Amino acid sequence: MDNSNEIVKRLSNSLRALIEVEINKQETDRVRSQTVEQKVKVLEPKDIVVFMKRSYPNYLITIEEARGILKLDTVFMRRLVSTGLIKSLARGDGRKISRYEVDDFIERNQGRNLDELLERVERGDEIAES
């Protein structure tokens, strides 16, 4: 009788393990097939912020690379940096700008005239946002 109970117990544990593996596999497949929007809906707001911070391509680029992204001339780009409208980091061989700062600059200034904004900041009528 003990042998049959032991066999039943082992079979039960094996079946349980197989079922758990299959459930996990199906869950993984379901998650993979979800769209980004579906995945974001299940995240809490704090999770979304952490997700965005960790996955954002935040790396340093040169002023020339940033100028190319923004499609601005070199003199205008350097004026934006020198006034602080675009924040940069000093380095031995020049200044670097984070990729995030370039995109953030675009977001902060949507719908604004950059020529007028730069003139106002240079005159001291407006302070560059921190």
- Residues above pLDDT 70, as percent of the chain: 69
Could you give the CA distance from residue 130 to residue 126 in angstroms, rounded to a whole number? 12
Per-residue pLDDT reduced to its tens digit, 81-113: 999 999 999 988 789 999 888 988 988 898 999
Per-residue pLDDT reduced to its tens digit, 25-36: 777 766 666 665
Structural domain for 92, as ranges = 60-123
Backbone angles phi, psi at 109, to 5 degrees: -115, 20
Is residue 130 assigned to a domain?
no
Q: Tell me, yes or no, whether 45 and 65 share the same domain.
A: no
Whole-structure pTM over 0.75, yes or no?
A: no
- As for how many domains the chain has, the answer is 2
